[in-house]
Structure 1
Amino acid sequence: MSNNIEKKYPVPPFSLESAIEKVRKAEDAWNSRDPELVSKAYSIDSKWRNRNEFINGREEIAQFLTRKWKKESEYRLIKEIWVHGDYKIAVRFAYEWKDQETQKYYRSYGNENWKFNDQGLMIERHASINDLEITEDQRKFKWPQGRRPDDHPGLTELGL
């Protein structure tokens, strides 16, 4: 399927409501931990900067996510809109995970800048992320693996 007919709703230009919906759909997809599903939200030639990695296209995105979630078990993510424009959205996020090698828990904090094409596919993603080691009793994201329940507090409500 070409980029000209693929669509990922909602599509730009974004209103506040459609931008919030786009952010929640992204959060839900990432919480699925399904690299193929997540990669379909990005254009075929999407460009990423994730920490110190530069990733190009859906295939590399799926490979990156496969590696990520092999290392980061018990992954749970919350995204929150920061600001939006017609074709751009900025989010802040936090996720918790357990390092498979060390068995230590972390909360990772970050910001992402997203740019979309007319079909609603993300063409650019710039992510800055910092990790904080936490203890198991400091974890705040304890819902069952998968989509965050609608009644679970967001980042602002959690004071994060």
Structure 2
Amino acid sequence: MRNSDRVHLSLFTCFSTQCCPQTGGTTHCANGATTQGENIADLGGQLAAYRAYREYITKEKGEEEKRLPGLEQYTPNQIFWITYGYSWCMSQTDSSLIRQLLTDVHSPGSCRVNQVMQDIPEFAHDFGCTMGQKMYPEPEQRCPVWVAE
């Protein structure tokens, strides 16, 4: 097996298991084999969007954006992340969630937000998370994705 094949297999395995933590009880999990392609796309897309945003601020605008009126407690970078989370905010019944887990190629919104954010160190930096916290796990607990600089 070529090294690039091993890297891809490792990446797919990471994403296939990430949205289903090892817990007891009646936990229902996304089918990692079904959702991993979309999970990789979510992470890669969000990371690329953040880097493009930061490049725009640094190179084009030349200064940080002002804080939003009424939301001054959040930095512009934090607002970037919050906006992504808000896009997946939904109320979902248990039966709807189970149907989604059984039939959809997309992970539930909570996974699409929390897992993506946990895998992006810039998110942790912008919110002041420390390594080992839930939203900033150790590197070996994150799924890395390559995005061109």
Pairwise same-fold verdict (TM > 0.5): no
Q: Comparing both chains, which one has the higher relative contact order based on Cα–Cα distances under 8 Å and sequence gaps of 6 or more?
A: 2
TM class, shorter-length: under 0.3
TM-score by length of 1: 0.26
- Name the structure with the higher strand share: 1
Select the structure of larger CA radius of gyration.
Answer: 2
